[in-house]
Structure 1
Amino acid sequence: MATPRPGAPGALRTAVLGGTGWLGRHVCELAARRGHHVLAVARRPRPHVATHQFAELDLARASPESIGRLLREHRVDVVVNATDAANATDGWARTDEDLADLNLGLVRRLLAALGTVEGRVRLVHIGTMHEYGEVPAGTVMDEALHPRPVTPYTRSKLAGSQAVLAATRTGAADGLVLRVANVSGPHPSPESFPGKLVALLREAVATGDRMPVTLGDALRDFVDVRDVAEAVLKAVESTATGQAVNIGSGTAVDMPTLVRLFVTAAGYPAEILDERAQEVRSLGGAWTRADIQRAAHLLGWRPRTTLAESLRDMWRTDRAEHRPVVGR
């Protein structure tokens, strides 16, 4: 296991690119609780980052000079790149050029910006397990697996991760790539599958109708977003560098089981579901199951939240945010 970075972790000035997103907000919250000085960076502020310092920057268009200036002005020690061109706030309707601009172009511009900052700024880059591409069902996906992505999204994500790893090999950067499995848990992005499940159940509860859901035959590894944030912070505070690390639950679950577990964890009978089977559009392969031994060895990280707990809390936080205001 890697030793902690020199100095008290609380002294770290941590910039979270994409700090208003699903994972970014949890990374910001956990880093702040750990005593980090948090800078959330995104195109526009959101209410949940009001307690953190915020910098407005269009990361899809920002130049290396503007990024470097931001890092220098805030004397940043660590950058967490939690951006993703499939940002669910905007939806998945992206051109190949859009995907490349953020998933790869930003990474290149960020690496160039890091070269203008005095001292070594650590970089934790958030990739995806889908970078590995399609694998046979039953495969336990470890970091030795040769990536073969086939979609524009996964190819652009892999290219971004590879750019970071190449920079660490030459000594131009210091940090890790975390390849994250599918995410569940509180405050899901609206266009993600968990976010759509929450919206569908919310509508069914409000109308008294059944909950229609279209399901494919994929089996995927789901990990709670708070556990992912914990992995990010362990990567931030580690001295390990130059490696890709898988972050997941280590278990594959089929979509019908996931949906039924969500509904029952939310406190409703499975009979509320109106399940419809057909091929479903996806950003990645039909099977994912992460080998997480490297994360345990290198970072001392293991997931702590069960899928049922993650889905239950996902629903509870949504209900709290959408609870009707009762007049006096």
Structure 2
Amino acid sequence: MTRVMLLGADGFVGAHVGARLASEPEVEVTTVTRRGDVDADVRLDLAESPVAVAHTLRDAAPDVVVNCAGSTAGEASSLAANNLVAVGNLVDAVLTAGRPLRLVHLGSVAEYGRIPAGAAAREDSPERPVTPYGLTKLAATHLVRTAAAAGVDAVTLRVTTPIGPDAPVSTLAGRLVGQLRQIEAEGAGGVTTGPLDDVRDFVDIRDVAEAVVAVALRPRGRAALPSVLNVGSGVATPTRDMVSALLALAGFTGGLRTDGGGASRETALPWQHADITRAVEDLGWSPRRTLESSLHDLWHSALAPC
């Protein structure tokens, strides 16, 4: 039996990782969340107390720690606390656990910063983040690398733009589906987004979960993985094309406005594309779902409001 501690189990990525882990008969999962209003085994704010993090790790005695916790938006202070301080406390706890642990940390392609148009970021590409989010995620990755250098079996998965069932309203696709379902319920209305000029590497959230589980449950004794692996679809898609496909799927023929704001991160990072060769070759993982299937399943996962 492999014991896995799943941090951030209530988030978009964490929930899908938890569902995938639950399908493994020889895995026992301890779910950990920051919020107290969700169902989880442990309530813990990773940024609040390094002592509490260490005690939780000691009590659960996991073989693997999967960190899906963190923030994608908010004030710089909040991003620093949830993406950096939290990981620092976690790494300290792992280093002092007194037993061998595997650490799987969810990073972001935003750690590369501005990727040149037409290029795909490799794991050895320059790391020059230009947003507070990217800066805090890169700093956290450096902490995980420090753990790996100290002998911890630690890997950061740099994820592109996850999409698929239950995407939250903090994502463009999730917000768009929410608007479309509202229009469907009310019988009228238009859709508003921010600018749609950027290009994104959309990866199905279930493929992300498969990659996480592949690292988490990788048999001991195999060749060590690189400390950083990109996880994406390997396809650069104009955001406008994704939006058009979702509108067509919903049968929407109304108006679309692109002056709604909410695009600061997208404006700062106009091109996103990751080279996933290492994950394919070293991990034996590859994305299986198309953007069309991701959008289909996202649309049908969101019921019209009552």
* Count of matched residue positions in the alignment of Structure 1 and Structure 2: 298
The aligned amino acid for 1:178 is: L
Q: State the match for 2:154 in structure 1.
A: 175
Measured in 2, the distance between the counterparts of 1:231 and 1:118 equals 27
Measured in 1, the distance between the counterparts of 2:299 and 2:305 equals 12
Measured in 1, the distance between the counterparts of 2:260 and 2:171 equals 18
Deviations 1:83-139 (A, max 9, x none): 1222xxxxx332x22211121111111111112323111000000011100122101
2:219 is equivalent to residue 236 of structure 1? no
Measured in 1, the distance between the counterparts of 2:65 and 2:37 equals 20
Measured in 2, the distance between the counterparts of 1:170 and 1:73 equals 23
Deviations 1:36-92 (A, max 9, x none): 111111123566xx5xx610112231x222112112212211111111222xxxxx3
Q: State the match for 1:22 in structure 2.
A: 12
Measured in 1, the distance between the counterparts of 2:77 and 2:149 equals 27
Q: State the match for 2:63 in structure 1.
A: 77
Measured in 2, the distance between the counterparts of 1:211 and 1:121 equals 51
Measured in 2, the distance between the counterparts of 1:310 and 1:141 equals 23
The aligned amino acid for 1:42 is: T
Measured in 2, the distance between the counterparts of 1:138 and 1:301 equals 24
Contact 1:168-1:241 within 8 A present in 2 as well: no
List alignment gaps of at least 5 residues for structure 2.
none
Contact 1:15-1:79 within 8 A present in 2 as well: yes
Contact 1:142-1:292 within 8 A present in 2 as well: yes
Contact 2:181-2:305 within 8 A present in 1 as well: no
Residue from 183, 186, 193 that aligns with 1:207: 186
The within-5 A match list for 1:10-89 is 11-35=1-25, 36-44=27-35, 50=39, 54-61=41-48, 63-86=49-72
After TM superposition, the structure 1 stretch with the greater mean CA deviation from structure 2, 304-313 or 281-290, is 281-290
Name the CA shift for 1:300/1:45 in 2 (closer, same or farther; >3 Å).
farther
Q: State the match for 1:4 in structure 2.
A: none
The aligned amino acid for 1:20 is: D
| Deviation (angstroms), 1:235 | 0.9
Measured in 2, the distance between the counterparts of 1:93 and 1:156 equals 12
Question: What is the DSSP-based 3-state SS (H/G/I as helix, E as strand, rest coil) of the residue aligned with 1:13?
Answer: strand
List alignment gaps of at least 5 residues for structure 1.
1-10, 87-91
Question: What is the DSSP-based 3-state SS (H/G/I as helix, E as strand, rest coil) of the residue aligned with 1:191?
Answer: coil
Measured in 2, the distance between the counterparts of 1:217 and 1:277 equals 12
Measured in 1, the distance between the counterparts of 2:260 and 2:168 equals 23
Seq. identity, %: 37
Q: State the match for 1:292 in structure 2.
A: 276
Q: State the match for 1:6 in structure 2.
A: none
2:246 is equivalent to residue 262 of structure 1? yes
| Deviation (angstroms), 1:273 | 4.2
The within-5 A match list for 1:83-232 is 83-86=69-72, 92-94=73-75, 96-171=76-151, 173-214=152-193, 215-232=195-212
Contact 1:129-1:180 within 8 A present in 2 as well: yes
Question: What is the DSSP-based 3-state SS (H/G/I as helix, E as strand, rest coil) of the residue aligned with 2:258?
Answer: strand
The aligned amino acid for 1:166 is: T
| Deviation (angstroms), 1:227 | 0.5
Measured in 2, the distance between the counterparts of 1:272 and 1:246 equals 38
Name the CA shift for 1:167/1:241 in 2 (closer, same or farther; >3 Å).
farther
After TM superposition, the structure 1 stretch with the greater mean CA deviation from structure 2, 194-203 or 37-46, is 37-46
